[in-house]
Structures are given as structure tokens and as C-alpha cells.
Amino acid sequence: MNPLGIIIKIIRNFSAAIIFLVGLIILFSGIVLSLTVIGLIIGVPLIIIGIFIVILSIFVRGGKFKHTGNKKPQVIVFCKNCKNSNTQSSRFCSKCGKEL
């Protein structure tokens, strides 16, 4: 597995925990700042934002990356009448309506 895939897997598995820790850091920073009069202006919004982020992290699941794999090449069938391209499963031309 390539290094980028490993990093994505780690972030996907621990994204809720990382968000939770960031929320706690903001929350505690707000509490410490609110102990002073000037810091109260900054501290209270940080406390509210920290609580919101902590609650949000409880409901966040790791992001899901869907591996689509290699798609099979589509076979294109051309109409003998009008030279329009059609899919392999088509029975009739999408432009002129003649049978393929």
C-alpha cells in the first residue's frame, strides 16, 4: 500500500477522535481565557465552540472512500445507416431508429 493510502486510512479511522481532541483543546482554552476580564470576551465563544465540536465529534463517523476499481471499456457500435455511435446493448440506433 502506498504512503498516501496509509495516511488516508489513519485519518479515516481516527477522524472523530481528532475532532474530539480539537474540541477539548478549544474548550479548555476558553475556560482558561475566561478567568480574566478581557479574556472573558474571547473565552465564552471558545467554550461554546468547543462544546459544539465535542458534541459533533460524537456523531461523526470516519469518512468512507469508495474504491471504484478499473471500469471495463465500453464497446461502441456504429449504425450502418447514419454512422451514429451506440452502446453494445442497444438494439436500435438512438439517432435514426434503425436496427443495429
- Burial group, residue 30, by CB count within 10 angstroms (0-12, 13-18, 19+): buried
Counted domains in the chain = 2
The reply to whether 54 and 7 lie within a common domain is yes
pTM higher than 0.85? no
3-state class (DSSP) for residue 83: coil
Is pLDDT at 60 greater than 60 in this prediction? Answer: yes
Asked whether residue 86 is domain-assigned, the answer is: yes
63-83 residue pLDDT tens: 554 555 566 777 888 999 999
In terms of residue numbers, what domain contains 24?
Answer: 3-59
Q: Quick one: pLDDT at residue 25?
A: 92
